[in-house]
Structure 1
Amino acid sequence: MFILAIFTAYLTDMVDHSINTQPMTTKRKCTEIQEIKKRFRHTTNGYTTKTTENGIISKKGKYTSPKKANRLYHLMGQRVLHVWEGYRKECPNNPVFVFVLPNNGTSLSLEDLPKSYHENECVFRHEYEVNKEACTITSSPKSRKILIGRKERIELKNTVEQNINQLLKDHANIEMIGVSSVRSKNYGPQDTKLIRETCIVLYVHVKGVIPIGEEEFPRRIGNFPIDVREGKFIPYGRVPGANEYHQRLLTGCQIVRQTAKSFGTIGGFLDLPGGGIGVLTCAHVVLTDKECEQFINCRPEQQTDLRKSVPWRTLQICQPDHYNDFGTVKDFVLYPGSSSDVGIDAAVVKINNEARLPVSGEFPWDEKQITGYGPDNPMEFLSGNCIEIKPELEGCEVVKFGAATGITRGLLAHRSLFVKRSHVPNLAFKDVMYNQMEIQPLQGFDGFAQKGDSGSLVLMAHKGNRTKLVAVGMVVGGTTFNTTVVTPILNILKEFNLPNMCLKTFRHCPWPKETSSLAELKKEQNKQGKEIKQLKQNIQEYRKDHKKQAQQQRKESQKIISLIKGLKRDNARNRQDDQKH
């Protein structure tokens, strides 16, 4: 009876904390439990709390599923994305549980958890919820005015490359790694101070909580101090939206996969080696999240069995909605990179509909006059030239056109940013990106890019001339502190083995008006035909006039020649008469 009473109390406790009370088949229930267990195993750091004689937590014993976590199975996947255990520096023996919630309005409190968690500290954070420290620093006038010198930037880059792998191995909660010209001290509502000091910035989701089995971050790396801030990477390209239909595709147009709800942006056009024209965009725009997880660390030359088994070459890509397809996915790259290599998230879509091939280097219309572009000065990318970002270019102004935000301007902050794309604090799927560029928005702009701008081409004025733009990178996402993550364009083109290493070029010509129907298109063709006929008539008339003028000139020249001959004869006769006399 005693055992039966304990079993009944356990079942009652499980029912009280259950979320989904709808009936479920045995097969479905088993499948969900297995999926939740599998997901939970990936969300743990793999270490248990072990206290030594000195009271210090060590990372000796690994575990798979702690007893306290068993009762969280019914929460995982519905109200909790991920949970991990840590401790605070001040109290190393008191565990802290961090619950990561989805960004769908879901809330969770201590009362929703089993009673065994009530005696411990629990932190509840949404997936992209962070404090405002990083945003305050990047938007402050002091950080914008202070720039890092060229030699110091090179030393920073080398220091990060040499230590990044060890940092990621020792600290699973690192979300991004960047650099900054200022460091914050005593962050709070009143006492925050910005110190002029070049530093390496480590971004985490929850500041102050150290994962179990790990030590706190080092104070310095090489000659540079460490500044810890809260920040997350946000993929741009997962929000449904709408844009105008373009008969001829333009750079910056909205594109969408036929079987998905998310959209992205055309980041330029390519002359494909085998013939035809391709569209450049992000891989996560044309692939689903599950497909991205399968193809992580997959490059074009690595034709694995998994890559061959999925018919990704038949994926239809549309513009601007699901009813206007124009091509299929030709190839893609999902490569995290390394400390000395650039991470790539890119795809090429081949245009199969000849009626939608691009004919102009212009961008769609944008009404924002603050950007400096307008009817008299349209934004266009004609040369197709791409340049490498060197240290002396950091701090220069860049511009982009995205399907979600249109034309925006920003400043190139630095070019050695590390980001973690997944919310899980480990590298199980290698869902990271090394050596990315960071763009800060100029004053007057809410941000340089937002969700839906993935794939946007980032351009820079050539020698200060804003009418002559060159490509420097492609937007892949952003951060919680309002900066944008960009991949260098030359590294993307190199991964696809393009021979000329540049985008498609266009000659400067007026762009014809968009036609919404076949009748309007025929009218436009008739007008062009009449203009051509008129030009031919003008040419014929010009030729006739030219012939008449040529004949008159010949007659006049003959008269002049005959007069000259007559004068010569008269002169000869006069000489002869003078000699006789």
Structure 2
Amino acid sequence: MKIILHFIAQQFTERFREKHIRIWAGEKVIGPANVQTVFVCFYSGSCDVSLEYLYDLKVIYRDYNTTDGESASARAHERHMKCELTPELCDLVNQAITIHGEGLFAEHSNLEAISSSGILSSKSRGLVQEPCVILYCRVKGIIPFGEMPFPTRLKVNEDISIAVDVREGYFSSHSDSQNNDQENAFHHKNNQLKEPLRMGCSIGPAGRCESGTIGPFVKISSDRIGFLTCAHVVFCDSELIDLANITQTDQILKDIVQPPNGDVSAQHYQENLRLCGRVFNAMFRGDWSPSSADKFGIDAAVIEITSRFPNAGAFVAVDESQLEDAGFSVDQPPMFDTGEIMPHPIHRRIQRAVIKIGSETGLTRGLLRLTKGMVRYSIRSGTLKRDKDRQEELTLTMHGLMEISPASGNMNPFCTYGDSGAGVFLIDDDDDNNKLICVGLSFGVVSDGTGLAMPIDKVLTALHRDDGLQIMLKDFDNEELL
């Protein structure tokens, strides 16, 4: 039966190929022991397919990029009530995700991401304060045909288990592209050609319209300088597939421009003036491991700067209101001159405020959680339009991700499309000048506004080259300027 339903779904998808839809068969839960076999038809933006039944099975239509809002409401309640998990509970939740995460992604094709919360959203009890592991899926109440329901609890040991909260949601890597219709006032004020380069500027690969953000500046060996960003910002899908199949790369001949081709200001500058660097090294792995104990998702690239060299750890200008909200001022904007890093502060057993400056949303403030997340990373995440290319699909399970909640009282996400590659920084509480310490590299967002970042120490280690050329964050205060 599963094979037959899969064949029908494929035929239906092919029939409406130009409509950019995706369809799969599932069992809609009607009651405790009652299910109805249905087809779920996902579309993006709009859909003029109106079949009510397919081979006498009901067709349910859902926008691929919308949810029921339950998780966003629960997250807002969690921030308002300050229901952060204690360090001890965080340890247990992290253990549950580490033990069961990979198996859950393997067994449940509709699982999009795994996170955690101090608030459980219960249909019968409402929002209750209870530690839980969140399992995100595109649509609740419909189980892919032939699969089991999600578990209700995850066992940590013989005596302890953690509750499971299933919510609608999905992960998106947040590079900007022509497929993204969102606009933001900050982005369009800050996409001019920058001399010298600054962190937070919008960049992209020459010849294509994707764009992301200049992340922390790095020193390459002893005499070269570059910056970090995400691999998915500078590589197309087919290149990411190739990149995922190797652990290290030789220098990749790919030029980077600022502003990128997709920015409205790009037409005002010749491409040779916009060229600013070339790819030095990159990694795209879901389960990279510096040791046998831990796995980390790495989606990162080092860009060697070839022109407009920075002379300080300065960021692109941001709105005065954003500066004030984050504790800075026009006279004392954020700077990152020291190159100081901190491994994931989860081991410090305290939640910390962090900031990032991305090319799309500017300066945002959030709270770094003590828990780690996992996501299913697909080259089709966030859109159905790429199906028409008929190229190989790549799906990775990304491990060990840092999670960042939007600041309390802020309904906007910590990051969004175009912010890929931005550095994530702690503000040193003991420094009167708001000294920054880098902890991560931003690369994606969950639909409820939770930002995702890779630990900066793991990114730097993963990007060291086999030929001995190593990278570290640039210390402008104590190094001779180029």
The normalised TM-score by structure 1 is 0.69
Residue of structure 2 equivalent to 1:436: 401
Matched, 1:199 2:139: no
Matched, 1:130 2:84: no
Aligned residues of 1:108 and 1:124 also touching (Cα < 8 A): no
Q: After superposition, what is the alpha-carbon deviation per residue over 1:148-197, rounded to whole angstroms, capped at 9, x for unaligned?
A: 1112211221221111122122211110011111101128xxxx721111
Matched, 1:363 2:315: yes
Matched, 1:214 2:138: no
Matched, 1:73 2:17: no
Corresponding residue SS for 1:358: coil
Residue of structure 1 equivalent to 2:427: 461
**Distance across 1 between alignment mates of 2:99 and 2:254:** 40
Residue of structure 2 equivalent to 1:110: 50
Residue of structure 2 equivalent to 1:340: 294
**Distance across 1 between alignment mates of 2:411 and 2:430:** 21
- What does 1:170-185 correspond to in 2, within 5 Å? 170-185=107-122
Residue of structure 2 equivalent to 1:246: 194
Q: Is the alpha carbon distance of 1:214 and 1:316 closer, same or farther for their aligned partners in structure 2, counting shifts above 3 Å?
A: same
**Distance across 2 between alignment mates of 1:314 and 1:344:** 21
**Distance across 2 between alignment mates of 1:493 and 1:134:** 33
Q: CA deviation at 1:377?
A: 1.3
**Distance across 2 between alignment mates of 1:141 and 1:116:** 42
**Distance across 2 between alignment mates of 1:177 and 1:313:** 33
Aligned residues of 2:420 and 2:444 also touching (Cα < 8 A): yes
Corresponding residue SS for 1:300: coil
Residue of structure 2 equivalent to 1:95: 37
Residue of structure 2 equivalent to 1:269: 217
**Distance across 2 between alignment mates of 1:68 and 1:228:** 25
Aligned residues of 1:387 and 1:470 also touching (Cα < 8 A): yes
Higher Cα radius of gyration? 1
- What does 1:477-488 correspond to in 2, within 5 Å? 477-488=444-455
Aligned residues of 2:229 and 2:422 also touching (Cα < 8 A): yes
Aligned residues of 1:282 and 1:476 also touching (Cα < 8 A): yes
Higher strand share: 2
Corresponding residue SS for 2:84: coil
The sequence identity of aligned pairs, in percent, is 27
Aligned residues of 2:105 and 2:376 also touching (Cα < 8 A): no
Correspondence for 1:224 among 143, 162, 187: 162
Residue of structure 2 equivalent to 1:52: none
**Distance across 2 between alignment mates of 1:453 and 1:144:** 28
Aligned residues of 1:110 and 1:122 also touching (Cα < 8 A): no
Residue of structure 1 equivalent to 2:415: 449
Aligned residues of 1:296 and 1:430 also touching (Cα < 8 A): no
Corresponding residue SS for 1:121: strand
Runs (4 or more) in structure 1 with deviation over 6 Å come to: 498-501
Q: After superposition, what is the alpha-carbon deviation per residue over 1:487-511, rounded to whole angstroms, capped at 9, x for unaligned?
A: 11111001012787741011299xx
- What does 1:349-428 correspond to in 2, within 5 Å? 349-353=303-307, 356-367=308-319, 368=321, 369-391=324-346, 392-422=348-378
Matched, 1:153 2:90: yes
**Distance across 1 between alignment mates of 2:352 and 2:473:** 22
- Which segment is superposed worse, 368-377 or 259-268? 368-377
Tell me: higher relative CO, structure 1 or 2? Use CA pairs within 8 A at least 6 residues apart: 2
Gaps of 5+ in 1: 1-47, 50-61, 304-311, 510-581
Q: CA deviation at 1:233?
A: 0.6
Residue of structure 1 equivalent to 2:234: 286
Correspondence for 1:505 among 454, 475, 479: 475
- What does 1:509-520 correspond to in 2, within 5 Å? none
Higher helix share: 1
Q: Is the alpha carbon distance of 1:454 and 1:68 closer, same or farther for their aligned partners in structure 2, counting shifts above 3 Å?
A: closer
Q: Is the alpha carbon distance of 1:282 and 1:67 closer, same or farther for their aligned partners in structure 2, counting shifts above 3 Å?
A: closer
Residue of structure 2 equivalent to 1:318: 257
The normalised TM-score by structure 2 is 0.82
Q: Is the alpha carbon distance of 1:314 and 1:151 closer, same or farther for their aligned partners in structure 2, counting shifts above 3 Å?
A: same
Residue of structure 2 equivalent to 1:37: none
Q: CA deviation at 1:457?
A: 0.3
Q: CA deviation at 1:93?
A: 5.6
Structure 2 counterpart of 1:420, one-letter code: R
**Distance across 2 between alignment mates of 1:142 and 1:458:** 20
Q: Is the alpha carbon distance of 1:393 and 1:460 closer, same or farther for their aligned partners in structure 2, counting shifts above 3 Å?
A: farther
**Distance across 1 between alignment mates of 2:208 and 2:9:** 38
What RMSD, in angstroms, separates the aligned Cα atoms of the two structures?
Answer: 2.8
Correspondence for 1:121 among 58, 62, 72: 58
Aligned residues of 2:175 and 2:419 also touching (Cα < 8 A): yes
Correspondence for 1:85 among 25, 36, 59: 25
Residue of structure 2 equivalent to 1:259: 207
**Distance across 1 between alignment mates of 2:15 and 2:477:** 61
Corresponding residue SS for 1:467: coil
